[in-house]
Amino acid sequence: MNRRILVITFVVMAIGLLTPATLALDPMGPPAAGLTQGQWSLGAEYSYSEQSLWRTQGYSADFTGVEQEINKIYGKIG
């Protein structure tokens, strides 16, 4: 019984440590199950986003900022 609790605790902790990485993934769109049997889908998607990052240097009031424009093109086959 104690070994089972130890394994469950380890699995929950491992999932908890790996979860933040999944939040950084891009949206993947609708599932391929939207197609009926025998149908094919081919297409492209374009994504544009802007991002501003600000950070401080220690406790000083000097702020440094970075602005990014991100362009992504995805191909999809279903």
What residues contact 57, with CB distance under 8 A and at least 6 apart? 64
pTM score > 0.85 for this model? no
Q: What is the mean pLDDT of residues 50-76?
A: 73
Instruction: Give residue 27's Cα distance to chain centre.
Output: 7
pLDDT band for position 28 (cuts 50, 70, 90): low
pLDDT higher than 80, residue 59? no
- C-alpha closest to that of 24 among 70, 76, 55: 70
6 SS3 class = helix
How many Å apart are CA 70 and CA 48, to the nearest integer? 6
